[in-house]
A = this chain, B = another copy of it.
């Protein structure tokens, strides 16, 4: 490696999968998604063969907007010493997020924030590969002080101070090694959304739900919110298929206003839904609090569209959620997700990540495993979403055994795709799209 290696390129690829043709991934607000990745590669002149790979997830149209936004961050990254970035990922994330001109585009939300998150995550992938560790383990072996340095506490101090964070992390220090060993031995529990897409017939729902239970899953999820009578029938069908011992979560993907969410869910209540996910606008903190209060003991979950740590802070302060659903590609990268994990731990609320997309399972497993090792210290009532498509495109795909994520051991963030997949699904010129567009 040269005495001082530098980042020499930030490459961006627009990669799309024509998932809408199968109705995989269809829900009440996303009837025909083409799961897509605005894919980023950081390249260096270190000569060690390591690159940083990560992605922002979108559902098709607009993936070019997202890719353009990532590309526009190149001047903030290219030319910087690799060590400056990889040895101070907290500082690197803050340097992108607090650029005084770019921040107008958010601030810290939407396209610009997801672009930042993708670049920050690519830097973590690079740092972990250089350290020869999977990201969950790189994080899980940092000292509490090092972890606190990763976090941007701006706007959090009324709920979480650096001292609070340090206390949480120190409390979880004893037993880290046992928990690492336990993860390597037994993995982390998953639930599956694969049976429950709206486009599926009742027969397919029944078959997939039974297969899920047979495969060891203790929780499945159904999409709801299109037609009440259909939802009642599908919920009953699913309950009959899996029996009483399996949790069934339902997910409305923001379909309802506040009172309609309450009314609709009361009709599904006889079939014992475990949580209602995204009952209304992801921005509606007070709305979620009203829904939760009306529907107790049905739990309320949200997060995949929650823009940043300030929104999560308020969902927790307002008692609006029972379940925090972090997403690996929505917020400003791993650093902001560490802040969100710490907030959830401070409020004692379990984290059950969102992962329905492409590459989201691969990336987010690292965060839940890190949380188990070094933050909450528990897997109780915690599950990572699992959706069973598109994993074949990844170099180090997630592996599910007996309904649990196997802890990854390969260095990095697991987001790297096969070169052939990147080529075939390139939009609009790759062979998969050339005929379709």
Contacts and interface: CB of A to CB of B under 8 A. Distances in A.
Interface of A: 29-34, 57-62, 64-66, 68-69, 72, 99-115, 154-158, 254, 257-260, 280-287, 290, 305, 307-308, 310-311, 313-314, 317-318
Contacts of A34: 101
B286 A62 contact: no
The 4 closest A-B pairs by CB, nearest first: A110-B110, A111-B111, A61-B101, A60-B101
Nearest to A155: B281
B158 A287 contact: yes
Contact of A62 (B62, B64, B104): B104
A314 B318 CA distance: 12
B109 A284 contact: no
22 contacts: A30-B104, A32-B100, A33-B104, A59-B100, A61-B102, A62-B72, A62-B101, A65-B111, A68-B69, A105-B110, A105-B114, A108-B283, A111-B111, A111-B112, A154-B257, A155-B257, A158-B258, A158-B287, A283-B308, A284-B310, A284-B313, A307-B307
A68 B68 contact: yes
B287 A257 contact: no
A305 B107 contact: yes
Max count, chain B CB within 10 A of own CB: residue among A102, A260, A286: A286
State the copy count for this chain. 2
Contacts of A113: 110
A64 B108 CA distance: 18
A183 to B, nearest CB: 31
B257 A281 contact: no
Given A100-B32, A257-B155, A62 B112 contact: yes
Contact of A65 (B58, B72, B100, B318): B72
A125 B107 CA distance: 27
A295 to B, nearest CB: 15
Contacts of A305: 107
Given A29-B103, A30-B104, A290-B158, A65 B69 contact: yes
Contacts of A106: 110
A285 B287 contact: no
Contact of A156 (B72, B257, B260): B257
B109 A286 contact: no
Contacts of A317: 286
B287 A155 contact: yes
A165 B65 CA distance: 35
Nearest to A64: B72
Contacts of A281: 107, 154-155, 310
A100 B286 contact: no
Contact of A307 (B30, B109, B286): B109
B157 A258 contact: yes
Nearest to A257: B157
Contacts of A318: 286
Contacts of A314: 283-287
Contacts of A99: 61
Contact of A155 (B33, B72, B111, B280): B280
A68 to B, nearest CB: 4
Nearest to A58: B104
A105 B58 contact: yes
A157 B105 CA distance: 28
Max count, chain B CB within 10 A of own CB: residue among A34, A102, A158, A305: A158
A310 B109 CA distance: 15
Given A111-B69, A111-B110, A30 B100 contact: yes
A101 B58 contact: yes
A157 B110 contact: no
A107 B58 contact: no
Nearest to A31: B100
A318 to B, nearest CB: 6
A60 B69 CA distance: 14
Contacts of A108: 283
